[in-house]
Structure 1
Amino acid sequence: MSRQPDEVKTVPLTPEVYGYLVAQAEPQSPVQRRLVERTRALGGPAEMQIPHEQGVLLTLLARLTGARRIVEVGTFTGYSTLALAAGLAPGGQVLTCDVSPEWTAIAQEAWKEAGVADRIELKLAPALETLRALPAEPVIDLVFLDADKTGYQSYWEELVPRVRPGGLLLADNVLYGGEAADPGAKGNGLAIREFNARVRADDRVESVLLPVADGLTVARKR
């Protein structure tokens, strides 16, 4: 059946299609499975954990860029941090920012169990304070934003100048359940809509918004 050029080509993710999609990714490690189980036990906050296929993508992107310096804003229980650390080049380091000792304690146990704790530096402080204290030189290879949505633009402005040419900036939840597409969006949906407009207008990067999980922006520093 032929398709029109402007027709939606994204395949609807039924449970069957999604199960097939996940099956095409590298399988979860025992550490990842245990971390998912511990996170689910938290109840409602567990929805903040990225899905496994997104973690596989983070690892792959870190490897493709040869990343040695990664900055993550928003640690939660550390699944994404674990994925990023797995993709580091030898001698590389992930700096991850959060404000929750409770959630990051779970993360630290998983990192230790996976044997990557020595590759991860956790900063428990408001992320803007941590980012503003970083050297101004453009030496960061990869950034992953997955924190408070109203802070995305501020984090972006601190990080873009510190990313090397050719480095990547990734931002999660940029569809925000579809709310970002609504001109009448409010709250977090509006914050993400405004962030997306800022990224799209930023001539320091080239970017694309992908329908991965709740939306993932991939931007390359020019």
Structure 2
Amino acid sequence: MSPTSTLFSAELRAASAEAHQGAESQRYVCALVAGDLDRAGYAALVMQHHVIYEALEGAAEAMRHDPVAGPFVDDALTRLPALAADLEFLLGADWRRRIEPTPATVSYAGRLRAVGADSPERFVAHHYTRYLGDLSGGLHIGRSLARHHGLTGDAGAAFYRFDRITDPKAYKDAYRARLDDLPLDEAGRAALRDEVLVAYRHNTEVLAALSGLVPTAGAAA
């Protein structure tokens, strides 16, 4: 690589910076972090996450031995057991029949299943967008939720804890190094870059669909 070359991970970060900011500034996310949602309002997001990660982690199993996508599949990232525990805490033992995915969530999960079936580079785009976000801003969200809702131990916000990753920064650095070393031609890299924006669009649409749960000014949270 020449001294003036840009690392692929840096290209991805720059290309998605605006979309990332758009997702973080969604009304629902601001209310979530500020503690303005009641538990039902928070539980609605956990429901959407379960549907999304069920599709993502199903795709990960299909890609586990793929030469391009396989190196990114890591059981330390798996979120479904934590989401199930959070939903049981928040909704009760019958949580599975109470899940209500929004149309935006159904669309997102459908996209994850589609790329997980036949596009390793597009799968990596979704994997990168979700899990590196979880290991970055997601950790902050988890701390805010625990504080505002009195969630202690593993109850209610287990999704935001990665017990098998002791150093998130080192993990993210190693992950980005794998992105930089991906054996893709320019067409493959372009597909991955494009799909990162698709992933952010889907995520933003899911968050926007939950905005109606944010209390209006002067209303009780």
TM over 0.5: no
Flag the structure with more relative contact order, 1 or 2, with Cα contacts below 8 A and sequence separation at least 6. 2
Compare the two structures and name the one with the higher strand fraction.
Answer: 1
Structure number having the greater helix percentage:
2
TM-score by length of 1: 0.29
The TM-score normalised by the length of structure 2 is: 0.29
